[in-house]
Amino acid sequence: MTITCQTVTVYAVGSLRISSTPSGAEIFLALSPGTPTDQGTTTISGGRVISNLQVGTYNIKLTLAGYDDWTDTATVSEGMETPVSATLTPSVGDVTITSTPSEATMYIDDVLQTGVTPATKTGLTPGTHTYMLTLAGYANTTGNFSITGGVTTTLDVTFAGSAYITSAPEVNARIWLAITPGTPVDQGAGADTPRIITGLTDAISGATRIWNYKLAKTGYTDSTGNFTATAGSTVNVPVTMLTVANITATNVTVTTSETPCMTGTCTITVVVRWSNSGQTDGTVIPNIKIDGVSQTPHASRTVPAGGFIDETFTVTGLSAAAHTICPDPN
């Protein structure tokens, strides 16, 4: 009978006790120069023991979300438990910040950053961060963004629309505003022309929003209108203010139907001119006073801006005496 002999290789073995801070890291292990394979995770207490490992040098890799991979080697000795302790380093990520308009100043987590938008900020820890962008002529823009280790986050910010409101020929006109179709409300002290009004659009209203305005100043008529605010830009709103009507009597002419005028037998004709030096039309109720006594007023008349009207009055039955005739109003 022929007997076939068998060869048996007996390896000396040992073990590894692998722990990590923080725990819960995935363990990949292989006898060098092999490629590490998954061996489970590190535990909270004491570490994970991997037994019956052939004596030799092992490649070890630990992975945990939010942390950089950790790699090292360890030697397994016969009958021995070799401890391996790893402190994992948190991963970092980047953020690229752009804005419309550009050249905004940046704050991340309340810390002023160097440079202006657009810019990329590196080395940020994973998690939620706050930002604030500031730019002259626009309302500050704030919010949050998330960082994932090893990833570049993109943050694109559009400033709320603004309006630069001016008035001519005078400044310091009070600004009143309301979202269309609302009635404008006083923007308060300090909101006089010329003034940049910020924050006129938002994420809810979208890229554009229509505003009604009113400008008010003593000696001028209120000027009203509307404008469209667009996110990421400043609209110019020049407003021309017109002076209020300023109506005064500028000329009085008196004629008689005969000379000399006998009591009760002659007619006196009075022509009064009322002029308007303002930039808007006005009205006057023409009348005259005879010896300080108002007569029967005529119907209201419009005096055009920069123009005049002539009104004729007929007076009869005056007594024989000197009489004073004045326009009313004068």
Least Cα distance to 177 among 131, 220, 133, 227 occurs for 227
| pLDDT tens string 199-244 | 999 866 678 999 999 999 999 999 999 999 999 999 999 999 999 9
Q: Are residues 260 and 278 in the same domain?
A: yes
Are the C-beta atoms of 287 and 297 separated by less than 8 Å? yes
Q: Are residues 79 and 25 in the same domain?
A: yes
Are the C-beta atoms of 56 and 75 separated by less than 8 Å? yes
Distance CA 59, CA 36 (A): 7
In a domain, 224, yes or no: yes
Q: Are residues 78 and 129 in the same domain?
A: no
Q: Are residues 254 and 314 in the same domain?
A: yes
The backbone torsions φ and ψ at residue 202, rounded to the nearest 5 degrees and listed phi first, read -150, 175
Q: Residue 126: is the preceding peptide bond cis (ω within 30°)? A: no
C-alpha dihedral sign at 225, 230, 232, 235: negative
| DSSP 8-state symbol, 172 | -
| pLDDT tens string 27-69 | 999 998 888 889 999 987 788 999 999 999 999 999 998 888 9
CATH number at residue 282: 2.60.40.10
- In this prediction, residue 115 has a pLDDT band, given cuts at 50, 70 and 90, of very high
- Residue range 92-103: mean pLDDT, rounded: 95
Residue at a domain's end among 87, 119, 143: 87
CATH number at residue 214: 2.60.40
- Extract the tokens encoding 181: 């179709």
In a domain, 268, yes or no: yes
Single-letter code of the amino acid located at 36: P
Q: Are strands 208-216 and 195-197 parallel, antiparallel or unpaired?
A: unpaired
Distance CA 4, CA 203 (A): 84
Single-letter code of the amino acid located at 195: R
Distance CA 119, CA 84 (A): 41
Q: Are residues 257 and 323 in the same domain?
A: yes
pLDDT at 260: 63
In a domain, 6, yes or no: no
pLDDT at 203: 67
In a domain, 44, yes or no: yes
DSSP-derived secondary structure for 203-261: TTT-SEEEEEEEEE-TTB--EEEEEEEETTSEEEEEEE--BPP-EEEEEEEEEESSSSP
- 3-state percent breakdown (helix, strand, coil) of the chain, nearest 5: 0, 55, 45
In a domain, 145, yes or no: yes
- Residue range 285-301: mean pLDDT, rounded: 93
Domain that holds residue 322: 247-328
In a domain, 1, yes or no: no
Distance CA 127, CA 146 (A): 5
pLDDT at 213: 97
Q: Are residues 289 and 302 in the same domain?
A: yes
In a domain, 8, yes or no: no
What is the tally of structural domains in the chain? 4
When mean pLDDT is compared across 65-74, 75-84, 182-191, 198-207, the lowest value belongs to 198-207
Single-letter code of the amino acid located at 44: I
Are the C-beta atoms of 157 and 130 separated by less than 8 Å? no
Residue at a domain's end among 34, 61, 87: 87
| 3-state SS, residue 263 | coil
pLDDT at 28: 95
In a domain, 7, yes or no: no
pLDDT at 10: 67
Are the C-beta atoms of 215 and 223 separated by less than 8 Å? yes
C-alpha dihedral sign at 298, 302, 308, 309: negative
- In this prediction, residue 126 has a pLDDT band, given cuts at 50, 70 and 90, of confident
pLDDT at 272: 94
Q: Which residue has the higher pLDDT, 1 or 92?
A: 92
- Residue range 232-260: mean pLDDT, rounded: 88
Residue at a domain's end among 158, 183, 206: 158
Q: Are residues 185 and 227 in the same domain?
A: yes
pLDDT at 323: 85
pTM of the model: 0.67
Q: Are residues 252 and 322 in the same domain?
A: yes
CATH number at residue 154: 2.60.40.1120
